[in-house]
Structure 1
């Protein structure tokens, strides 16, 4: 149920994948990736011009994350990057089991990968790293204090740090 104004993030198997999908990634953004991946951090970066995926209205960006889930990492190691959404209809609670996902999504999904129950966690923190300073778009699993501990408050724009 996502519209084109809500582009899906792209899950990647390792930090080495970043340069194939993004360009001009800043040192503070890389520091966050190194410190918080795998984990609940999504970083929006400038997409490589060669990235031809239709992810929606991205304005030349791509949101990257490495999940902290063994089954997801094993799948990504075999497939490479995957554009994904959470396993739920927009506005509905996230599914924590394959059966929950099937109940919400039904035949709209061709294949369900059942890796057991998924603990309901906090959404990922989203950091926009497309400009000269970082901007927190959504607070989530990585706290503001942890972000500042990694890169310092001066790495963020004034609105974010207020």
Structure 2
């Protein structure tokens, strides 16, 4: 992209030799043709038959990892992650609800059904797992299995609290919306880093609907019981 920008700038200033102009325009034409063909082909067949790079512009920044929602801890146990007794006990005490636990990522995650999306969820080393306490969502996850979840609003904007808000903001990009009335979850979830829970305890990454003090009280109670 930088090379094309420089070439177009030189072309605008009329300082671009004709042979180079032909070469650059030819390369640009090939790239555009391949991009259009790959996009159309992948869209028609529903899978990546022709390789394409990551989009230049996205609605969700890369620094905001996508998390995984499960309906209960049994779904997580079925994937057999290498989780310590302390972490299991902690999660059993904070789920379901407005707390998300960041744990170590690994090959076990593919057993949850992420497949080729493994590199697109979480970070390179970790993934946030949450068990919601919303009946309709839990029932959906029971039927579909674990789901990769993002917030239902454009990045940087306030959270959507009603399906009408989701439809008005994102309806043109969605195939369907599961309506369950107005959400009472008007504050983001509390995010807890549990990747070093056995060595140095937990850390609060983001304080949300569950106060940090309450989370730490739960952890201390669990730690004293397990240890």
Same fold (TM > 0.5)? yes
Determine the C-alpha separation between the residues in 2 that align with 1:118 and 1:70: 12
| CA RMSD after TM alignment | 2.1
The 5 Å alignment of 1:19-38 reads: 19-21=77-79, 23-38=81-96
Structure with more of its chain in strand, by fraction: 1
Structure 2's unaligned 5+ residue stretches are: 1-58
| Pairing partner for 1:14 from 63, 72, 75 | 72
Deviation at 1:20, TM superposition (A): 4.3
The reply to whether residue 82 of structure 1 matches residue 147 of structure 2 is yes
**Structure 1 stretches of 4+ moved >4 Å:** none
Q: Is the 8 A contact 1:10 1:64 kept in 2?
A: yes
Q: Indicate the structure (1 or 2) with the bigger Cα radius of gyration.
A: 2
Partner of 1:159: none
Aligned length: 154
The answer to whether 1:140 aligns with 2:208 is yes
Mapped contact 1:23–1:45 kept (Cα < 8 A): no
- Post-superposition CA distance 1:14-70 (Å, at most 9, x none): 011223457332334323311121100100111231424232561222110011101
Q: Do structure 1's residue 95 and structure 2's residue 170 form an aligned pair?
A: no
Which stretch shows the higher mean deviation, 117-126 or 25-34? 25-34
Structure with the bigger RCO (C-alpha within 8 Å, sep 6+) is 1
CA shift in 2, pair 1:125/1:21, >3 Å: farther
